[in-house]
Structure 1
Amino acid sequence: MTTYGTIPTTSSSPPSTPNLVYISRVKNKVRAGLGTRQPWKTMLDPRSFGIPITLSQAMSRVRINVPYFRVNYAMVALLILFLSLLWHPISLIVFLLLMALWLFLYFLRDQPLLLYGHVIDDRIIVVVMTIFTVAVLLLTDATVNILVAVAVGVVVVVAHAVFRKTEDLFLDEEVTGLVHNGGAAA
């Protein structure tokens, strides 16, 4: 029986290799996972910086900016830590392994982390991963570099959070944990 002129019902193209499918899935997951960060253009907009007038205004900015830019801040702190380890190859290898753990547990998750049937909050994951990362890296004999990098990272994050105005942020009560009573944020 001949089938000339008929339209085939199945695809005649060869199935894509598992490696290409896996790479495509990882690329999509990276885009989706890092999509939870705020745009760098929003974070670093020069018009959005100003000196706080009071200490309470500075604290209010920190309380709003830290949850809002938490993924960006984690990326900045990890970049500072990475740069401090460039001259310590063993520490750098350990750090890269820890980065894989960060990617898996924090940056690329698309569902909440469940542990024994309980949802683990992102803030707890960040604190535990930070302590674990610093503790494991301290075992690699790069103590001074690590402590200086952590201190510089904290200073950079807090300085940005204090000087970044919050009026132009699109706040979500779930993200910040704040409830707005009709008033403008500091």
Structure 2
Amino acid sequence: MASTAPPILPLTTPQSTPATIPTTAQSSDPPIATPAFRAFITRIHDQIKDGLAQRRPWAELVDRSAFSKPESIADATTRIRKNYSYFRVNYLAFLAIVLLFSLFSHPFSLLTLASLFAAWSFFYLFKPADRPVVLFGRTFSDRETLGVLIIMSIFVVFLTNVGSVLMSALVVGAAIVGAHGAFRAPEDLFLDDQDSAGQSTGLLSFLGVATSNAAAAAAATSARV
């Protein structure tokens, strides 16, 4: 008697669907736009370079044969005015050197001032308008950021030794410049309108550019706030 084996049913393996690995879109924040900062630094560099190119020879500034005692206060005032018109760029460069020397001789003040400038740069001046400041899980608006930066600036300038270092350096530099202008006889200096205009469009023109940039930044800020 033949044994009948049960029929073998075909085994159908379900087609394995390819595993779909969930791809998480890595939303990386766009890098902070720095063209404005680079343009600002480039403009400062160009203005300072153009201004220093129009400075007077330093040997002419310290010519010992040109020094004499002023006859009166009015004569000293006239000398200061004429010498300032002629050595304007040299005087500003000297004040900058005195200021830098004073800051480098006080490392804490230099570090504090650099930190304050960095805070203004990264959190307000060159921050993209569509990226709010988020600190400690809290989002700060532009108005709040400006208020915090102003309070920090007041604290740094008036409640630390940074303000005293800056003021003392400016006072010492201005006193030396005033003494030089009063005792330097300007009779040998060639002053004309064209030369004076050339000096004013040199290093000092940076102040006008910086003022216009600050006004434009303030207008953009007020519109943004």
- TM-score of the pair, normalised by structure 2: 0.43
Mapped to 2, the partners of 1:28 and 1:148 lie a distance apart of: 29
Mapped to 1, the partners of 2:91 and 2:176 lie a distance apart of: 9
With over 3 angstroms needed to count, the CA separation of the structure-2 counterparts of 1:70 and 1:30, relative to structure 1, is closer
**Aligned position for 1:73:** 91
More helix by share: 2
Structure 2 residue aligned with 1:150, among 153, 167, 170? Answer: 170
Kept in 1: contact 2:109–2:162 (CA 8 A): yes
In the TM superposition, what is the alpha-carbon distance from 1:170 to its structure 2 partner? Answer: 1.3
In the TM superposition, what is the alpha-carbon distance from 1:153 to its structure 2 partner? Answer: 0.7
- The question of 1:37 aligning with 2:37 is answered no
Mapped to 1, the partners of 2:89 and 2:156 lie a distance apart of: 21
The residue identity in structure 2 corresponding to 1:71 is: V
Structure 1 residue aligned with 2:102, among 43, 63, 84? Answer: 84
Name segments (4+ residues, structure 1) moved above 3 Å. 27-33, 87-91, 174-177
Kept in 2: contact 1:77–1:150 (CA 8 A): yes
- The question of 1:169 aligning with 2:189 is answered yes
Structure 2 residue aligned with 1:47, among 50, 62, 65? Answer: 65
Q: Unaligned 5+ residue runs, structure 1?
A: 1-26, 99-134, 178-186
Compute the RMSD of aligned alpha carbons: 3.3
- TM-score of the pair, normalised by structure 1: 0.51
Deviations 1:59-101, CA, capped at 9 Å, x for gaps: 1101101121111011111111111111433543547x98xxx
Describe the SS at the equivalent of 2:77.
helix
Mapped to 2, the partners of 1:82 and 1:157 lie a distance apart of: 16
With over 3 angstroms needed to count, the CA separation of the structure-2 counterparts of 1:141 and 1:81, relative to structure 1, is same
In the TM superposition, what is the alpha-carbon distance from 1:144 to its structure 2 partner? Answer: 2.1
Describe the SS at the equivalent of 1:145.
helix
Kept in 2: contact 1:91–1:137 (CA 8 A): no
In the TM superposition, what is the alpha-carbon distance from 1:141 to its structure 2 partner? Answer: 3.9
The residue identity in structure 2 corresponding to 1:52 is: P
Q: Unaligned 5+ residue runs, structure 2?
A: 1-44, 118-153, 198-225
Deviations 1:3-39, CA, capped at 9 Å, x for gaps: xxxxxxxxxxxxxxxxxxxxxxxx9987654121111
Alignment of 1:1-186 (within 5 A): 32-89=50-107, 91-92=109-110, 94=113, 138=157, 141-176=161-196
Describe the SS at the equivalent of 2:97.
helix
The residue identity in structure 2 corresponding to 1:138 is: V
Identity %: 36
Kept in 1: contact 2:51–2:89 (CA 8 A): no
The alignment of Structure 1 onto Structure 2 pairs a total of residues equal to 116
Select the structure of larger CA radius of gyration: 2
With over 3 angstroms needed to count, the CA separation of the structure-2 counterparts of 1:141 and 1:60, relative to structure 1, is same
The residue identity in structure 1 corresponding to 2:107 is: P
